[in-house]
Amino acid sequence: MTRAIILAAGRGTRLRQADAGVMPKCLLRFGGQTLLERHLRMLRAGGVDDIVLALGFRHEQVEAELDRLGWTPRPRIVLNDRYELGSVLTVHTVAGPLAAGGDVLLMDADVLYDQRIADALLRGQGNRLLIDRDFEQGDEPVKLCLKDGVPVELRKLVAPGLAYDTIGESVGFFRFDETAARRLAQIVAAYVAAGRAGEPHEEAVRDLLLEDGRRFAIADVTGAPWIEIDFPNDVTRAGQEILPRLQPIRMEAP
């Protein structure tokens, strides 16, 4: 049994557009569908119906979208009332589903992506990271660095002198087996206890990788279209460049 946890609690303060401060980013529409609906359809196409939504900002709007879709089985909702802090705290709020057993998909909600990326994440079992080697350099992308196929870094800023032979952008989707998911829940709990709840959850994932990166398979999704939506130009690119390149989702009916 595979469970998907979708992180959709933040308010997207960097997205300066008409909808900023009005609705969660997972409700942005592309091609007549919200990002949330696309997530649900993509997961169903891969056989995943056990879905947890980690919500916070304007959560009632997301719940209204679920009502509109009439999606069954309805995703479970877990609220982070302190969503203004960081995604580490949001992951901590879903510690129960994270550590409940079985494989777990941990996914950012603000990503428009192709079926091929979902397939790479869902294929087989066990721990998996997605890497896109064709990415724009800069301080914004979360870089995934590999040495002999083993992850050695997961951060926006790579330390000078780090030894690696492959670098790409992390898609922001992770797959964990039962052992790794429970260990991540422990790491996140330690962050919160140490007053580090405001940090991005990738830092906790990084700690998990550095404990034993050899247990993580790497799926190269270079060439498959996707975009994480953080800034206004991302919305434009999503609609004009990414959406026309997406393959149709195989299963359209909920």
Task: List the domains of the chain with CATH numbers.
Answer: 2-245 (3.90.550.10)
For the chain, what is the mean pLDDT?
Answer: 94
pLDDT band at 19 (very low <50, low <70, confident <90, very high): very low
Identify the band that residue 41 occupies on the pLDDT scale cut at 50, 70 and 90: very high
Tens-digit pLDDT profile for residues 61-119? 999 999 999 999 999 999 999 999 989 999 999 999 999 999 999 999 999 999 999 99
Compute the C-alpha angle 77/204/137, nearest 5°. Answer: 105
**All residues at 6 or more sequence positions from 237 whose CB lies less than 8 Å from its CB, including other chains:** 227
Residue 16 pLDDT: 54
4: its two tokens: 């998907």
Structure confidence at residue 224 (pLDDT) = 98
Query: What integer pLDDT is reported at residue 18 of this predicted model?
Result: 44
Segment (H or E) for 112: strand 111-113
Question: DSSP labels for 121-167?
Answer: HHSSSS-EEEEESS---SSSS-EEEEETTEEEEEESSPPTT---SEE
Terminal Cα-to-Cα distance of the chain (whole angstroms):
19
The C-alpha angle 75, 81, 83, rounded to 5 degrees, equals: 90
Q: What is the largest CA-CA distance in the chain?
A: 52
* Burial environment of residue 249 by CB neighbours within 10 A (0 to 12, 13 to 18, 19 or more): middle
Query: What would the pLDDT profile of 173-220 be if each residue is shown by its tens digit?
Result: 999 999 999 999 999 999 999 999 999 999 999 999 999 999 999 999
How distant, in Å, are the alpha carbons of 65, 105, 117, 139, 229 from that of 29? Answer: 12, 23, 20, 27, 12
Spatial separation of the C-alpha atoms in residues 42 and 254, rounded to whole Å = 11
